[in-house]
Structure 1
Amino acid sequence: MAHPSFYGFLSNSYTSALVSPDGVIEWFPCPRFDSHAIFCRLLDQSRGGFFSIQPSIPFHSRQTYDDNTNIVMTTFQTEHGIAEVKDFLPIGRVAIWRRVKTEIPLELVCRPTFSFGAAGAAYNITDDGALFSHPGGGEAVKLIIHGPMKKLEHRDHWEIGPGEVTVVLLYARDYQSEQQMLDEPLTDPNCVEEGTRHFWQRSLLPYEGPYQDAFNRSMLVIRGLTYRTNGALLAAATTSLPEVVGETRQWDYRFVWVRDASYAAEALLLAGDPVACRRFIEFMLNTVDLAGKPYAAPFYKVDGTQSSGEKELLWLAGYKNSRPVRVGNAASDQTQMDIEGDLLWVVLLYWQTTHDDTFIKEYWWAIDTLVSWVAENWNTPDASLWEFREDNDIYLHSQVMCWVSLHVGYILAEEVMHLDRLAQSWKNVADIIAQHIWDDQKESDLPYFAQGRRHRQVDAALLTLPLYGFVEPNHPVFAKTLERIEAVLVENDFVYRYREDNMGTARYPFTLAGFWLARVYLRLGNLKRADELIAQQLQCATDLGLFAEHVNPKTFEPHGNFPQLFPHAALITTLIERQKLSEDVISPGQHPQAMTPSS
């Protein structure tokens, strides 16, 4: 089955945009990833703003990425000729550049709105485009058309071409103070495009193995979801793309989830970029709260401040009428006990890779705070990594990640800080947590691990137990767990995160979980089974190689926010681990990153 067409992802590592297969930019938050969007037709076909360049006659279109970059090329084929549009966000400025080569006239429509479509734009037509402004605020957008063009009758329509045309859209948060920037002469388009191309191509990392194109595209997505100022990593580029069209499971993911971002930082480290990994770790350690839970929320804004609450934008119809559209995320109020361990695991891997004792010592205040808090509070019920609403429990995955926190603390305290007494105390707590987990498993009278003390079914998070070194993949209890997961959660090599929760049935497979399962089989030395799973997960990608959070297993259509950090990070981690196994760097059953020197 062919990969479905969806949206092309554009980024300049400050914000992002989505361009549809037929050349319409339908998503563009300004000035940051988590800002209000001036183009949001993605979430409302009538009220949301958009920016289109298309033939005015019937056409067929196709999209590709331009030569391992985040530059999207849309090609239009008509009976009278061909047109090509290259779209990119320039590095260092909140703007959209659209470079056009066309044999036929094209129609350009630029219709920004403000505050997610709540306010239409005031406008002033200029000789080379238009100035659009927020009627109740200082925001402004300047459209510049350089090349053959003529104004059409409708206020926001132009005809451009034939020939070469450069179209630039500049954003200003405050027009009065930024007018000089808006009025600057355009930089040479060839220089801007080449600079953007080189920026993305230099961000790739060496990889020689199967699925190299998928590896490179996933790396470019991770780079595109990185906030360049501080190395923060966003969970996704969008808000409110639904898990199931027409239902209510749609959330705002334009934040830095400690968990999701830690997975991506691990992928960057394994792929050979310890600098990017360190930048993220440093960002996260600098958000640690010394009073109370070190991470008071499971996610943060890209500037490191907390996001509070969730708002429903009831004037928007939602993606394919899936309401409500949400901004912010109520999970900010949840207790999630795994996130300290998610980050500390990456801290350990970074130190094992670089032997950067100075960094550990510099941030010992934060590491000590994280581990000490978990040591006192590890048995606290939480919402789990699945962020269940009003369904707290002692979830096994969270317990294991608390064990990871204490085990990492023990290793770093002993080997870097030489605090033997503290190291031993943390090791003792880690042993207590492990004993509680095993005692609970025995008391359940089940032959396998279960999701939680009140939730005796399996979930996909149990697949991570051998990935963090808590249990060997061939341990009898985990073997039964794997068998149960294969029977209950796996269909046609797609993996569901669980079957149901207190909001209803989980309708679609979870793209991350399929890669977890492949990694388990890599550890078991079953390369054939792992390869089958990897190949099937890659079917979840769009025609441009992008993953959403979920996938329709029959049509392969993406569901949920897009593109999603989780599966792109998991793809890289899985392929790197596969490469190490095939090169005999690790042997079957051996954990590739040892939790302790003796494990």
Structure 2
Amino acid sequence: MPTPQEETPDTQENPEPTSSLELGVIGNGSVAALIDGRGRIVWCCLPRFDGDASFCALLSPQCEGGDWSIELEDIDRAEQHYMPNTAVLVTRLYDHHGSGVEIVDYMPRFRTRGRFYHPVLIARRVRPIGGSPRIRVRLRPLCKYGSETPQSTSGSNHIRFLLDGVVQRLTSDVSSTMIERGLPFFLEKPAHFVFGPDETLTESPADFIHHTLENTLTYWREWVRNLSVPYEWQEPIIRAAITLKLCQYEATGAIVAALTTSIPESANSGRNWDYRYCWLRDAAFTVRALNRLGATRSMEEYIRYVFNLVAADGDNEIGPVFGITFEHELPETQVASLAGYRGMGPVRVGNDAWRQRQNDVYGSVVLASSQIFFDRRLEHPGDELTFRRLECMGELALRVAETPDAGLWEYRGRAAVHTYSAAMCWAACDRLAHIATELGLDERARYWHDEAVALHARIEARAWNEKLGTFVDAYDGEHLDASLLLLADIGFVNAMDPRFIATVDAIGVALGRGDYLFRYIAPDDFGAPETSFNICTFWYIEALAATGRRERARMMFEHMLAQRNPLGLLSEDIAPANGEHWGNFPQTYSMVGLIQAAMRLSRRWEDAL
């Protein structure tokens, strides 16, 4: 596992075919792909994040294939790393005789002609790095979530695949016959593969990859250079930030919760969900984390997405999750043609959370948008018109603040007036008061301030359990959940308030398992949870730091860094017994938690130098 300050490539000795989440991610804001330790593309949806899984080997398709591999004969070991400060992945394979190949994988992203170039395209370069390596190229996309093999046609240097909803063309300087038949050959010089739109390349594959790779490397290095990173843990923070950036669909500004569907939260649990959509809450957390790093463009794009949603809904209540092109309904179905991650189905497409009421979403939208009214760096800062749009969210927050909902954990079988949901509705009113003050709208500032004060008092009266001596998860409740750790973060209570400290301590006892934290332990629709929820562990770390236990917080944080996969990524959940990753991947929540905790705990540059 990587150490917190690691800069050198990670090595995987004798990697096995994908049976764990030791995966890397490449992407460009239009599409993304997951690649295992041997350079095999095992997941990629085309032509966008929530499209058909043309590469679906990760979820065990019934048809042969669903992957794109560069196989080295008589393989002995593999190494894998990202080019520093980029989303360009390098895999090196070595055989038992000392021969080897290097695979460079990326999706082009750079600015040209006044706009971003980020096509639905995967580029791969394979070159020999010693001896006489003999390889086999297997490109085997599938259709309709692994149920069909696509029709294809070929020429001397290209192969066209008629996929579900898109036609992709592979252009290469390797013979099409060698690729179609999966024939082995000696790799004597670099080979280039461009899998993209069904268009003729105007240059050779080698020239295309040469200039798009250089431009893509430059883009990512410049993007990272503009991040405001703390003194400590820079490499993990940078990797997390790049990963979050890869989860934003640039065409609309939507941010997906993860790039996959149906990786279970624990073995054979049935907790298999499709996360390839935009949860307003998750996206707001992502925006706040990137804002703290100075990457405000993602916030501006996301706010554009949200305002388009709000404009469509008018004064109606809004759901918690939407499609990346504003779809309001995401009907949930099961896919029989995929057996699931490690055979652990079901595989679901769509997510019925869109049917739920989750009242914290209004606060999430307002909190994600607040910075545009105060950040003088922005080209288009918030104005009175923007404020009026946000006021709709505040009015809805007041309407629903103390009504039952499914909560942020999306309970499917019960509803309650959840403390976190109510507190986020308060946060919407509180921030609107601050924004109105900034804009000089005194009457609106008084209105929102008075509403916030009154709501705050009602929540305190119902969410504090005098007998237990803690805040509780729901009005007049008796249980704890990890969302209560955020009450200080959103400003509902002061972090040094004895009530908050007591709540943090009680949560550590009730929900802690060693250095991990569960989101809750009470049985839900699927029984008792079996794995810790990574962002909750990071919330607990932040709460420890905020309440004066920094050394304990730092120890837990270092432990969580050591749990990242060999490329520095995290899934949604970890099994405390063995540290195994579970849940959809890469999980934006988890990468957000890493960034937030690191920035709270890091020593300042001034104190360190």
TM-score by length of 2: 0.88
Aligned equivalent of 1:123? 152
> 2:189 maps to what in 1?
164
> Which residue does 1:140 correspond to in 2?
167
SS at match of 2:189: strand
Q: 1:251 aligns with which of 273, 277, 280?
A: 273
Query: How far apart in 1 are the matches of 2:258 and 2:421?
Result: 23
For residue 102 of structure 2, the aligned residue among 84, 90, 96 is 84
Cα pair 1:397 1:462 within 8 Å, conserved: yes
Match of 2:220 in 1: 200
CA contact (8 A) 1:243 1:560 kept: yes
Cα offset, 1:155, TM superposition: 4.4
Whether the aligned pair in 1 keeps the contact of 2:394 and 2:432 (CA below 8 Å) is: yes
Query: For 2:545, what is the secondary structure of its paired residue?
Result: helix
SS at match of 1:52: strand
Task: Report the Cα distance in structure 1 between the residues aligned to 2:183 and 2:202, rounded to whole angstroms.
Answer: 21
Contact 1:65 1:544 in 2 (8 A): yes
3-state SS of the aligned residue for 1:382? coil
Answer yes or no: is the 8 Å Cα contact 2:372–2:382 preserved in 1.
no
Name the CA distance, whole Å, in 2 between partners of 1:160 and 1:580: 53
Q: Does 1:30 find its partner at 2:46? A: yes
Q: Does 1:40 align with 2:65?
A: no
Structure-2 separation of matches of 1:68 and 1:553: 31
Change in CA separation of 1:242 and 1:443 when aligned onto 2, cut-off 3 Å: closer
- How far does the alpha carbon of each residue in 1:437-493 deviate from its partner, in whole angstroms, 9 at most, with x for none? 221145663210111136521111000000111111221221221111111111222
Q: Provide the C-alpha distance between the structure 2 equivalents of 1:269 and 1:2, rounded to a whole number of angstroms.
A: 26
Code of the residue aligned with 1:126 in structure 2: it is G
- Check the 8 A contact 1:235/1:260 in 2, yes or no: yes
Structure 1 residues 317 and 486, CA gap change in structure 2 (3 angstroms): same
The 3-state SS of whatever aligns with 2:452 is: helix
1:336-369 CA-partner distances (Å, limit 9, x unpaired):
0001111212322443343879523231232111
Q: Deviations over 1:370-390 (max 9, x none)?
A: 111212221121111101102
Figure out how many residues of one structure are paired with residues of the other and give that number. 574
Question: Counterparts in 2 of 1:192-591, with a 5 A limit?
Answer: 192-204=212-224, 205-289=227-311, 296-354=318-376, 358-420=381-443, 422-442=444-464, 445-453=467-475, 455-500=477-522, 501-579=524-602
> In the superposition, relative to structure 1, how do residues 454 and 13 fare at CA in structure 2: closer, same or farther (>3 Å)?
same
Question: Cα gap change, 1:378/1:201 in structure 2, threshold over 3 Å: closer, same or farther?
Answer: same
- Structure 2 CA distance for partners of 1:150 and 1:378, relative to 1, 3 Å: closer
Partner SS, residue 386 of structure 1: coil
Separation in structure 2 between the aligned mates of residue 109 and residue 321 of structure 1, nearest angstrom: 22
CA-to-aligned-CA distance 1:68-106 (integer Å, 9 cap, x gap): 211111111112211111111123211211111124111
Letter in 1 for 2:400: N
Contact 2:139 2:180 in 1 (8 A): no
2:115 is the counterpart of 1:99:
no
Matched with 2:138 is: 109
| Contact 2:61/2:146 (8 A) holds in 1 | no
Q: Distance in 2 between matches of 1:293 and 1:324?
A: 37
User: In the TM superposition, what is the alpha-carbon distance from 1:208 to its structure 2 partner?
Assistant: 4.1
Letter of the 1:305 counterpart:
E
CA distance in 1, matches of 2:461, 2:314: 29
SS of equivalent to 1:412: helix
SS for the counterpart of 1:113 is coil
**1:510-536, CA deviations, whole angstroms, 9 ceiling, x for partnerless residues?**
111121112222222332122112112
The AA in structure 2 aligned to 1:90 is: P
> Structure 1 residues 425, 9: closer, same or farther in 2, change over 3 A?
same
- Matched residue type, 1:165: P
Inter-CA distance 355–189: structure 2 relative to 1 (3 Å threshold): closer
Over 3 Å counting, the alpha-carbon distance change for 1:581 and 1:69 in structure 2 is closer
> Any conservation in 1 of the 2:365–2:393 contact (CA below 8 Å)?
no
Structure 2 Cα separation of the partners of residues 514 and 273 of structure 1: 24
Compared CA separation, residues 426 and 206, structure 1 to 2 (3 A): closer
Compute the displacement of 1:333 (Å).
0.6
Conserved in 1, the CA contact under 8 Å of 2:233 and 2:602?
no
Residues 243/123 of structure 1: CA separation in 2 closer, same or farther (3 Å cut): same
User: How many Å separate the matches in 2 of 1:271 and 1:162?
Assistant: 43
Inter-partner Cα distance in structure 1 for 2:91 and 2:67: 16
In structure 2, the CA distance between the partners of 1:75 and 1:554, relative to structure 1 (3 Å rule), is farther
Shift of 1:391: 1.0
For residue 565 of structure 2, what is the amino acid of its counterpart? T
Q: Which deviates the most, 551-560 or 288-297?
A: 288-297
Counterpart CA distance in 2 for 1:334 and 1:491 is 30
The residue aligned with 2:67 is 50
My pick for the range that moved more, 93-102 or 38-47, is 38-47
Q: Distance in 2 between matches of 1:53 and 1:429?
A: 61
The 3 A distance-change label for structure 1 pair 208 and 368 is closer
Q: Distance in 2 between matches of 1:442 and 1:284?
A: 33
Q: Determine if contact 1:5/1:21 at 8 Å carries over to the other structure.
A: no
1:593 maps to which residue? none
* 1:231-272 deviations in Å (ceiling 9; x for gaps): 332211111111112221011111111111111111111111
Any conservation in 2 of the 1:289–1:296 contact (CA below 8 Å)?
no
Residue 50 of structure 2 contacts residue 276 of structure 2 at CA under 8 Å; is this kept in 1?
yes
**Relative to structure 1, is the Cα distance of residues 93 and 397 closer, same or farther in structure 2, using a 3 angstrom cutoff?**
same
Check conservation: 1:145, 1:165, Cα contact below 8 A: no
The one-letter amino acid of 1:194's match is: E
Distance in 2 (CA, whole Å) between partners of 1:242 and 1:191 is 40
- Residues in 1 aligned to 2:406 and 2:325: alpha-carbon distance in whole angstroms: 25
Aligned counterparts of 1:180 and 1:273: Cα–Cα separation in 2: 34
Q: Deviations over 1:11-68 (max 9, x none)?
A: 0111100111122111111111111111101111543511110112232112111222
User: Percent identity over the alignment?
Assistant: 27
1:75 aligns with 2:88: no
**Alpha-carbon distance change, 273 to 240 in structure 1, aligned in 2, over 3 angstroms:** same
Scaled by the length of structure 1, the TM-score of the pair is 0.90
Contact kept in structure 2, 1:143 and 1:167, CA below 8 Å:
no
Mark the CA change 1:476 to 1:90 in structure 2 (over 3 Å): closer, same or farther: same
Letter in 1 for 2:484: L
Structure-1 residue corresponding to 2:79: 62
Contact 2:170 2:196 in 1 (8 A): no
Residue 182 of structure 1: how far off its partner (Å) = 6.4
**Which SS does the other structure have where 1:192 is aligned?**
helix
**How far off its partner does 1:160 sit?**
4.6
Q: Which runs of 5+ in 1 are unaligned?
A: 173-178, 585-599
Q: Distance in 2 between matches of 1:549 and 1:138?
A: 30
Aligned pair partner of 1:10 in 3, 26, 48: 26
For 1:440, give the aligned amino acid. Answer: R
Give, in whole Å, the separation in 1 of the partners of 2:447 and 2:170: 63
Cα distance in 1 for partners of 2:295, 2:170 equals 38
DSSP-derived class of the 2:137 partner: strand
Give 1:498 shift.
0.7
